[in-house]
Every structure is written in C-alpha cells, then in structure tokens.
Homo-oligomer: A and B are copies of this chain.
C-alpha cells in the first residue's frame, strides 16, 4: 500500500520537476538569448505550462494522494513524509486559487517583466504602473484566498511564501534593531568625512581578463564547473535546475572590476548551496535551499563575510596584480581591503556596500507593507521612493530607473522577498560565529582554501535542502535561536576598525 503511494509520489515529483525545469528554461531564455520582441510565443507557452501544472498539481488526484500520505505519515520514511507535508502546503496555496485566475496571473507576470525591462530602460514608470497595479490587486485577492478568515496579517501571508513562518511583527523588531546599529554608524562615518583611497577600483580592466578572474573565483569557491556554468546578463542571478545543473550569471563592466567579482562570489554562494543539496532529494520538491533568507545567508556570507574579509583580500590581491597589473600594481594590502569595504550611501541596492545595504531593504520593506495595507498607491511610488531614500540613506534619486524601477522583484509579483535579503545578512553572521567553533575561517580565507568552509556548510546546511523548515534548521546548525546581535557586532567591529571610529 505505502509502496504504491510512494511510487505515485515519485511520479508526481518528477512531473513537477519537469514543470520547474521548463518554466526556468523559459525564464532563463527570456533573460539571456531571446530577441527583444519575442513575447508572443512565450506567452502561449507560459499559459500552457501554467494550465497544465495547475491541472496536474491542483487536481483531486493529487489532493487524495497527499491526504493518504498524510494519514500514513507515521509509517512512512521521514523524507517521504516531509515531501508530502511540503507539497501539501504548495497544493493548498495553488488549490485555493481558481485555475483561470492562476493562469491569468502567470501570463500577467510574464508580460509585466517584459514591460518592466523597457520601462527601466526608458525611465518610464507610467508604462509599468498599470501592470504593477494589476499585480498588487491580484496579490490582495490571493491573500484572501489563502487566508479567507483573515487569521493573519495580509503581508504575513505573502512573507510566508519566501520564509515559512516569517511575520511582519518579527521583521519590524528585526529592522528596528538593525537601524539602531547601522544608522549611527553611517552617520559617524559621514561626519568623519574621510574615505579610503579607491581610484584603482575604477581603472579599466579588460573584459577577457575579468572572465579569467571569474574562473579563478569559481575555483576558489570549489565549484565544479562541469555542473555550473557562468553566463552574462544585465542583472546577475542564479538559476538551479538540479544538483547536476546550476547556472549563474554576472555582468562585466570595463571600469568596475569589483562589480563582477562580487557578483560571482554572491551567485557562487547560491550555486554551492544548490550543488550540495542531498543526492536523495534529487528531482523532489525538497531539492533546493530551505528558504530565501537561508539562501541569501549563504550568498551574502561568501560575498561579504568571506569575500570582503581581510584574509581573502590578502589572498586575492596578488592574483589581481597578476591579471590587472596596470590597475593594482601600486596598491597595498591595506589599501585594497579598505577600498572594497568603503561604506557610502548610494542609489542602487545591488551595488551598495555591506553597511548601507540593509537600509535599501528597509525602504522596500516599508513600501511593500504600505502597498499591501492599501496605504500606498502604485501611482505614488516614485515620490515615496524618493522620500524614503532621502530619509534612510540621505541620497537624492535622480530618476525612476535609478529609483523605484531598479529591481525586478515587483514585476514578478515577489512581494515579501526583499526582507529575506536583510535577514540573510544577519543569519550569515550568526552562522559564521558558530562555524568558527569548528573551522578556522580566517586561515581558510588567507590561504584561499575555502573547502573546509564548504564542507562545514554541506554537513550542517546544504545537504538538508528543504527537509527542515528554515527556523528549526537555523537553530539546529547555529545551536541557538536567531538574534540580530551577531550581525550588529560584526558590522560595528568591522567598520570601526576600517574607519578608525
């Protein structure tokens, strides 16, 4: 009996894998190889996939299977029971939405992303606004479907999709904590009025050499290139198909060699996670990172805690001098380390420094809350964005391309995703404190030998995939509940040293 159920579950999982694979492929293609005005075919395909996936997954057949598996839970292997539990959540979310609305939304989002690309290019928020309005409307309707008795705050219902169990209340408290640490630090640095030398970071660095640098960093990250390719896109990202097949992308700028450097470190972190999920999870819904925050905790860890550490900087500088002699010949270790750690309020989240990064997230967090509560209208977004950027970062936003249009998330309907970036930063710092009990992290950095770190992460984090929910998983590998304190300590110590505060 149970064998039969497990076989049916396997079949369902494989089919769902196929839909994930194909949807990712359509998305990847749209962002990389597809010509600009090629949406007509993609819309037909998106609609078909959406309909078929709904028909397969939100069917009575699947409902019954998941029901039976839930009943048999005690008699099933742990992994199987978890798959059933995990799928049941997705099933409930999908089933709650009528098929037609589900498909319409998928098509809307696919179109909206295309409109956003052009709106950003042309600094034309007005053309994107109506799509964003429709997306927000749909999200509000979905919240009603998902929580018909209004037992949760509406925004919590969305947060839940990216971090199971995450709430607005928790985040309000978290961000208040961060604010208390970051805002005074930023102010003190600003008042001091001194910045380290960084001219050399903006010297021309030949693209071909930057590509060689990417290969070198991937090797330092211990990434097996036979299973992970690097592409080039406007916005870097990671896309996982399965543990044998992960793609990252980066963007090379002639005068910004560190831009691609840290993109590769960041996306490489995401890739490592996916490449080391447990083999027994392959082609199941558990074969991915535990949540967005945990994923970001890994990518931001490799980008910043490792990649911007004094040790790793000392390790990599000779390579930089070798690849880019004209740029780095006259640069000392101290100068290099300080330059890649400059804290200075800026306009673009993805290019912001480690210290001010979370302030960018706070702007988005508050706007999302306002949109979902109905306190902010889509049409007011450009103005509110400008006001909040001035308030939190003290910068003037010159246009919407560098303002409210800069990120793709909302065009994809991802409300509730941004906070996981900030949370990830803090998760990573606490995780690193725990890791240091087992691994000499500083020594790994200086030697450029990150293998012990990747092994620790595989053992304690990666291999679990989604077997355990994010909060308990975090507690398991950190040996303590989450608190923002380690992250605040880390920031204070690092920036006080760099800026001699």
- Interface set of A (CB-CB < 8 Å, partner B): 14-15, 17-18, 21-22, 25-26, 28-29, 32-42, 44-45, 48-49, 225-229, 231, 241-242, 244-247, 282-283
Copies in the complex: 2
Please measure, in the bound complex, the distance between the C-alpha atom of A206 and the C-alpha atom of B226, giving whole angstroms. Answer: 29
Q: Tell which of A29, A225, A227, A246 has the most Cβ of chain B within 10 Å.
A: A29
Residues of B within 8 A of A39 (CB): 244
Q: How distant is A37 from chain B, measured CB to nearest CB, in Å? A: 4
Residues of B within 8 A of A36 (CB): 225-226
Indicate which residue in B44, B226, B227, B246 contacts A14 across the interface (CB closer than 8 Å).
B44
Please measure, in the bound complex, the distance between the C-alpha atom of A76 and the C-alpha atom of B26, giving whole angstroms. Answer: 35
Q: How distant is A231 from chain B, measured CB to nearest CB, in Å? A: 6
CB nearest neighbor in B for A46: B18
Q: How distant is A460 from chain B, measured CB to nearest CB, in Å? A: 26
Residues of B within 8 A of A282 (CB): 40
Q: B38 near A227 (CB under 8 angstroms)?
A: yes
Indicate whether A14 sits within 8 Å of B48 (C-beta atoms), given known contacts A25-B25, A35-B227, A41-B21: yes
Residues of B within 8 A of A244 (CB): 35, 37-41
Residues of B within 8 A of A228 (CB): 35
CB nearest neighbor in B for A21: B45
Please measure, in the bound complex, the distance between the C-alpha atom of A245 and the C-alpha atom of B15, giving whole angstroms. Answer: 28
Residues of B within 8 A of A241 (CB): 38, 41
Can you list 22 residue pairs at the A/B interface with Cβ under 8 Å? A14-B44, A14-B48, A15-B48, A18-B45, A18-B48, A18-B49, A21-B45, A22-B22, A22-B25, A25-B26, A33-B231, A34-B245, A35-B228, A35-B245, A36-B225, A37-B226, A38-B227, A38-B241, A38-B245, A40-B242, A40-B245, A41-B283
Please measure, in the bound complex, the distance between the C-alpha atom of A91 and the C-alpha atom of B133, giving whole angstroms. Answer: 45
Indicate which residue in B28, B44, B226 contacts A18 across the interface (CB closer than 8 Å).
B44
Indicate whether A229 sits within 8 Å of B34 (C-beta atoms), given known contacts A25-B25, A26-B25: yes
CB nearest neighbor in B for A40: B244
Please measure, in the bound complex, the distance between the C-alpha atom of A17 and the C-alpha atom of B283, giving whole angstroms. Answer: 26
Given A33-B231, A37-B226, A40-B282, 15 additional A-B pairs, CB 8 A: A14-B44, A17-B41, A17-B44, A18-B48, A22-B25, A25-B25, A25-B26, A28-B29, A29-B29, A33-B33, A34-B245, A36-B225, A41-B242, A41-B244, A44-B283
Residues of B within 8 A of A22 (CB): 22, 25-26, 45
Q: Tell which of A25, A34, A246 has the most Cβ of chain B within 10 Å.
A: A25
Indicate whether A226 sits within 8 Å of B35 (C-beta atoms), given known contacts A25-B29, A29-B25: yes
Q: A33 near B44 (CB under 8 angstroms)?
A: no
Q: Tell which of A32, A35, A42 has the most Cβ of chain B within 10 Å.
A: A35
Q: How distant is A250 from chain B, measured CB to nearest CB, in Å? A: 13
Please measure, in the bound complex, the distance between the C-alpha atom of A283 and the C-alpha atom of B226, giving whole angstroms. Answer: 36
Please measure, in the bound complex, the distance between the C-alpha atom of A228 and the C-alpha atom of B242, giving whole angstroms. Answer: 30
Indicate which residue in B29, B231, B245 contacts A41 across the interface (CB closer than 8 Å).
B245
Residues of B within 8 A of A28 (CB): 29, 33
Indicate whether A37 sits within 8 Å of B227 (C-beta atoms), given known contacts A22-B45, A26-B25, A45-B22: yes
Please measure, in the bound complex, the distance between the C-alpha atom of A175 and the C-alpha atom of B350, giving whole angstroms. Answer: 61
Residues of B within 8 A of A25 (CB): 22, 25-26, 29
Please measure, in the bound complex, the distance between the C-alpha atom of A28 and the C-alpha atom of B228, giving whole angstroms. Answer: 17
Q: A33 near B245 (CB under 8 angstroms)?
A: no
Q: A247 near B40 (CB under 8 angstroms)?
A: no
Please measure, in the bound complex, the distance between the C-alpha atom of A372 and the C-alpha atom of B119, giving whole angstroms. Answer: 56
Please measure, in the bound complex, the distance between the C-alpha atom of A34 and the C-alpha atom of B22, giving whole angstroms. Answer: 13
Please measure, in the bound complex, the distance between the C-alpha atom of A335 and the C-alpha atom of B17, giving whole angstroms. Answer: 58
Residues of B within 8 A of A225 (CB): 35-36
CB nearest neighbor in B for A226: B37
Please measure, in the bound complex, the distance between the C-alpha atom of A80 and the C-alpha atom of B41, giving whole angstroms. Answer: 21
